[in-house]
Amino acid sequence: MTLERAEPNYYGAGPAKLPTSVLQQAAKDLLNYNSIGLGAGEISHRSGPAKDIVKDTKKYLTELLDIPDTHEVFFMQGGGTTGFSSVATNLTAAFVKKTGKAGKPGYVVTGTWSKKSYEEAVRLGFECDVILNSKEVDGKFGTIPSVEKWNIPSDLTNTPYVYFCDNETVNGVEFDEFPFEKFPGVEIVADMSSNFASKKIDVSKYGCILAGAQKNVGLAGISVYIIKKSLLDIASDQELKKLGVPLSPIAFDYPTVVKNDSAYNTIPIFTVRIVELVIENLLQNGGLEVQEQINKKKAELLYGTLDKYPTIFNLPVEPSVRSKMNVVFTFKDNSLESEFLKSAQEQGLTGLQGHRSVGGMRASLYNSVSLESTELLCKYIDQFAQSHL
């Protein structure tokens, strides 16, 4: 068996394509990591080599994202769903410690994942404010209404945090700017699972950033968290129970995870190792400034190609908030879908089917999808559209 492969033209929404060079090194590490005679998936999560993997991955992430000293980086099992479930309990516990009250978390709902995040917080027993539901304002998920249309609470001192999904994978909507200047003193929580490490951000503006690794920086099974250190000071179990605030499961209790250097329970060290390799690769290739420009160019190419054929394709997302990671589109004539997918498959272009909940097409342009691969997809779309005009 060889470690070489033809570079795949894969546009799946996740788990997503990874750099071949990263996978080649990971394959070697799986067999014998750093010449210790064991693979990175076999070593104890509390061993010296495992601790080094966690430490180095945190160091690379800090460098890549310019994470300030006010924030802590840690890893937990799971993905975005674990993230938004654990945010509700942990950030409310921090708010109780600070204020003595439970408060009402706020949710900005702009698509499938932020909607699920809100619903999970309610299911867990939290009373929440819906600060925005773009579907109720504009009749669909495909816009981000201006802040003037948001239901911002008059008393923000009772808001533990405001949660939003920076990039909606299913609906193809992405925040182009940070719109939370009208929430002074409120912790802003961002789910960046599907656009993490795709662009430069000011980490200091966020109370917490969470990201499942399987889109841009790794395999499914591990998630990355960046949190203000002050939010790790949380109320006791007794204080929370007295107020009727749900407790976090111990494996997802942020202070416990941080205190144990992400190894309170058996996290998948091999999966963290892949995150380390991906982040190191990004740094070697020029960092986020370079990657962001590549991502912008890929998105402009694809949207520009689709926009040329308004009689063939329908693009449901308002242009100002189109995702650079997940390009969603449908056909004016739905009968063309199967032909489009079949012909694409024959040309080695895969992973284009839309999410089962909304249908249509979705081309995900994560970091590891090259400009050349994007150009191939655009060429195919041109040919397909021309033949159906």
Measured in degrees and rounded to the nearest 5, phi and psi for residue 25 equal -70, -40
Domain of residue 267, CATH code: 3.40.640.10
CB 273 within 8 A of CB 60: no
Query: Mean pLDDT across the stretch 188-207?
Result: 98
- Spell out where the chain has E strands: 9-10, 71-77, 106-109, 129-133, 161-165, 167-168, 173-174, 187-191, 208-212, 222-228, 313-314, 326-331, 349-350, 361-364
Domain span holding position 302: 288-386
Q: Does the pLDDT of residue 2 top 90, yes or no?
A: no
Same domain, 251 and 359: no
Of 267, 283, 299, which one is at a domain's C-terminal end? 283
What is the full DSSP assignment across 258-323?
HHTTT-SS---HHHHHHHHHHHHHHHHTTHHHHHHHHHHHHHHHHHHHHHT-TTTEE--S-GGGB-
Of 241, 257, 283, which one is at a domain's C-terminal end? 283
Measured distance CA(169)–CA(180) in Å, rounded: 21
The count of domains in the chain is: 2
Query: Mean pLDDT across the stretch 361-372?
Result: 98
* pLDDT tens-place string over residues 245-300: 999 999 999 999 999 999 999 999 999 999 999 999 999 999 999 999 999 999 99
The answer to whether residue 1 is domain-embedded is no
Same domain, 66 and 188: yes
Paired tokens of 185: 């003193």
Paired tokens of 387: 């033949």
Mean pLDDT, the chain, integer: 96
The answer to whether residue 190 is domain-embedded is yes
C-alpha pair distances (Å), 56 with each of 68, 71, 185, 244, 339: 16, 16, 32, 39, 47
Same domain, 251 and 303: no
Paired tokens of 228: 């203000």
Closest residue by Cα to residue 352 from 328, 334, 376: 328
Report the greatest alpha carbon distance in the chain: 68
- Provide the pLDDT confidence category of residue 359 given band limits of 50, 70 and 90: confident
* pLDDT tens-place string over residues 35-59: 999 999 999 999 999 999 999 999 9
Please state, for a pLDDT cut of 70, what percent of the chain lies above it.
100
Helix, strand, coil percent values for the chain (each to nearest 5): 45, 15, 40
C-alpha pair distances (Å), 343 with each of 55, 243, 298, 363, 384: 46, 58, 22, 15, 9
What is residue 184's DSSP assignment? T
* pLDDT tens-place string over residues 76-102: 999 999 999 999 999 999 999 999 999
The answer to whether residue 3 is domain-embedded is no
Q: What is the 3-state secondary structure (H, E, C) of 3-49?
A: CCCCCCEECCCCCCCCCHHHHHHHHHHHHCHHHCCCCCCCCCCCCHH
| 86 three-state secondary structure | helix
* pLDDT tens-place string over residues 111-155: 999 999 999 999 999 999 999 999 999 999 999 999 999 999 999
Measured distance CA(246)–CA(123) in Å, rounded: 11
Same domain, 294 and 268: no
Q: Does the pLDDT of residue 1 top 80, yes or no?
A: no
Residues in CB range of 180: below 8 A, 6 or more apart = 162, 186, 188, 205
CB 162 within 8 A of CB 288: no
Measured distance CA(151)–CA(128) in Å, rounded: 12
C-alpha pair distances (Å), 307 with each of 33, 299, 311, 388: 48, 12, 10, 15
pLDDT score at 377: 98
Strands 167-168 and 173-174: antiparallel
The answer to whether residue 248 is domain-embedded is yes
Same domain, 261 and 365: no
Same domain, 201 and 108: yes
Same domain, 203 and 230: yes
- Provide the pLDDT confidence category of residue 355 given band limits of 50, 70 and 90: confident
- Report the Cα–Cα distance between both ends of the chain, in Å, rounded: 46
Same domain, 260 and 326: no
| Torsion angle defined by CA atoms of residues 100, 104, 105 and 111, in that order, rounded to the nearest 10 degrees | 170
Same domain, 266 and 357: no
- Provide the pLDDT confidence category of residue 357 given band limits of 50, 70 and 90: confident
CB 351 within 8 A of CB 13: yes
